[in-house]
Structure 1
Amino acid sequence: MGRVSSCSELLLWDKHPARGANAHIFDWSGQLSLLQQKASEELLASVQQNISHLLHAVCGAGKTELLFPSIFNCLQDGKRVCVAAPRTDVILELFPRFQKVFPKTNIHALYGGSPDQEGFADLVLATTHQLYRFENAFDVVFVDEADAFPYFADETLRKAVTKASKKDAAIHYVTATPTKSLKTANQSVLSRRYHGHDLPVPRYSALWGYTRKLKKGKTPTKLQQWIEEKTKNNIPFLVFLPTIEMLENFPGDLPRVHAEHPERKEIVMQLREKKIPGLLTTTILERGITIENVHVAVVGAEQKIFTSSALIQISGRVGRSFKYPDGDIVFFHHGLTHEMDKAKAAIEGWNKE
């Protein structure tokens, strides 16, 4: 949002609420599975009754598509809707999809560095930080990836979401890994992906002394072989690293991104368009990114940054496509942890359900 100081003027509209003048169109030809349809109807019922709802669905279950009927219903009723997420990458992923589904709706996408957008937006996609801009503005709010950092750890962000909502407006949550505080009386559980295939289960591979080797400018043999195999077979890949320092000092010329990288959006697009074989990343890309047939390696899966939730989300990048429902997800480690086992057990549990 840029600098805001105590002498900045902040204006609040306190007259009649603004309304969009567009006739909304719902242009989506996809078809929901029976499980998706049930969850979508349950969410719509909660939205219409103004009761908070949790959509608890595995990664790749098609959560975004389940929101479409509820959002369209709200727009038809003249309500203003916000879809918020903690990460910029999620908003960038959602924006073109919503533009395609609601072609006559004025949609604004707000994130750090987003361009100015004209007109009154009936539908706003925003990072949770951007909701500091609003007060008493939205009739309905959906928080996607509601357990993601920094939202779950920052009380001021949670207050910003509440402040941006109209008085007594229900807030609805969407995630694959909800915290206890997110669970509400009304919730829908989706244990299968939209294409019906099992979730890829991570495998473990010991990478003893990897930190020492990387500090010496050498890529551990197993990891190098994994990267070379994916490159040779033209399989896009993500390598998750635990620290920015390790990311920046990683040997070789593979593209790399982190939260403050100025060209993160462009580099991810290059991977999506197969202009690069793969990239190195921090946990910034653990969620909100879909790349067809991507395979994933986690280096240092035993480190504290890789919680069970993070590992579940990272594993969820693999096998999301109907065309490529499988894929390799490997946890390279220097010793097993409870969080690793917890993540693997959760994924295996979803598959049994």
Structure 2
Amino acid sequence: MKCLRCHNEDASLFAYDQGVYYCRRCVAFGRMDVGQTPTIPDLSCRAIDVSPKLKFALTKEQEHVSEQALAHLKKGKNVFVYAATGAGKTEICYGPICHYLKKGKKVGFAISRRQVVLEIAARLREVFPTLKIVEVCQDYTKETDGDLIVCTIHQLYRYPETFDLLILDELDAFPYAGNALLKQFVDNACKGERLCLSATLDPSLQEEIDQKKVEVVALFQRPHKKPLIVPEVIRIFRLAQRLLVWHYCIQFTKQGKQTIVFVPRKKDTMFFELLLHPLKAKAIHSSKKNKDEVMEQFRNRQFPVLVSTTLLERGITVPGVQVIVYDGDHTVFTQASLIQIFGRVGRKFDDPYGRGICLCSRKNESIASCVRTIEWMNAHAASVWK
């Protein structure tokens, strides 16, 4: 027995019902009986001659990396864009997107997290105002076809044999990393080339790179040419960490700066929301029902401090934001997540600096590796792209 959607062949993951077996491994995405072929969606596809409407021209480094990536894609090769946070991974994709659309090809942009889907879709609408861009994720599934589809990786189950170019953003992030079911959805959805983007290297991707199955292009310099923010690591016991969170939030607020406090657990968001109540702090996590509203208010500077789990570690840009990590040696904060978290700081031309503070009981390997990697990227920023 084999499921033709998720390729499950484990007999223990099939169930028998009214004369037929069905797959339990992917039943959450709709029942698939043994032998049943996934329905290929009837989506619109047309040649579109489009170019991005940019407020700022790409830097020569971004243009160079974009051209390198497109050259590999034209040869039928998958590409990994290894770029520092804030270096412009999304902007590097504009050239390949335009090329594939002009050829009448279908383009998809798949992202691990719903919040980032909404942000990327909004950015793409600004850059490509003539395109019909749809986001497909939780609460956004009524319309599933457009000139450019931006979706969570989970939603790729809707699109077997669909995309000539599939852009995979932050492919090393939860829940995609190490998830065989979601990887199969990606394999099913992409009938052409993949353009993978991240500031951190996933071990499974490294294996494909070593086997020459994936080409790599790199960019470690942000458009404003200023170095990445290296986190300040403060080792102190947990109670004192809470006092320091309070201290720094007050300090940054007095300076007119907004702050994101990253915490490892949902219960920590509730604690710090109460502790920082005098600053009108609000909290956000994956289960929060009004998270879109809270994020919109924070972007509009309606309150100065946002407490978050790792939900906001990737893909979110808030101008001038400062970052504090509480309990930074907790296992939820991996090297990759810490690099992404501190990458929220100093992204904008008009405010390229800022502070990233890592509070911890001990400086574990994840923290040390994060610091080393960011320092390495700064040291190679001006040379790796050439």
Normalized against structure 2, the TM-score is what? 0.83
Distance 1:77 1:345, change over 3 A: same
Distance 1:248 1:90, change over 3 A: same
Conserved 8 A contact 1:299-1:333: yes
5 Å-filtered alignment, 1:48-127, equals 48-114=74-140, 116-117=142-143, 120-127=145-152
**Which has the larger displacement, 76-85 or 199-208?**
199-208
Distance 1:10 1:195, change over 3 A: same
Pairing partner for 1:230 from 252, 256, 259: 252
Q: What letter is aligned with 1:259?
A: S
3-state SS of 2:162 partner: coil
Mapped partners of 2:125, 2:181: distance in 1: 30
Shift of 1:27: 2.4
Q: What letter is aligned with 2:341?
A: I
Q: Which runs of 5+ in 1 are unaligned?
A: 214-218
Distance 1:14 1:194, change over 3 A: closer
Normalized against structure 1, the TM-score is what? 0.91
Shift of 1:115: 5.2
Pairing partner for 1:154 from 170, 176, 179: 179
**Aligned match of 1:181:** 204
| Aligned CA-pair RMSD | 2.3
Conserved 8 A contact 2:108-2:165: yes
**Aligned match of 2:219:** 190
Shift of 1:264: 1.2
Matched, 1:33 2:62: no
Shift of 1:121: 1.4
Mapped partners of 1:327, 1:59: distance in 2: 14
Q: What letter is aligned with 2:72?
A: S
Q: Which runs of 5+ in 2 are unaligned?
A: 1-26, 381-386
Distance 1:13 1:179, change over 3 A: closer
Q: What letter is aligned with 1:193?
A: R
Mapped partners of 2:295, 2:238: distance in 1: 30
Conserved 8 A contact 1:203-1:329: yes
Q: What letter is aligned with 2:362?
A: G
Identity of aligned residues (%): 29
**Aligned match of 1:336:** 363
Mapped partners of 2:216, 2:32: distance in 1: 44
Conserved 8 A contact 1:23-1:104: no
5 Å-filtered alignment, 1:249-288, equals 249-250=271-272, 251-252=274-275, 253=277, 254-288=281-315
Distance 1:209 1:123, change over 3 A: closer
**Aligned match of 1:43:** 69
Conserved 8 A contact 2:169-2:198: yes
Shift of 1:25: 4.8
Shift of 1:94: 0.8
Shift of 1:182: 1.6
Pairing partner for 1:246 from 268, 275, 281: 268
Number of equivalent positions? 342
Shift of 1:296: 0.3
**Which has the larger displacement, 220-229 or 238-247?**
220-229
3-state SS of 1:296 partner: strand
Conserved 8 A contact 1:242-1:282: yes
Matched, 1:170 2:197: no
Distance 1:7 1:198, change over 3 A: closer
3-state SS of 2:229 partner: coil
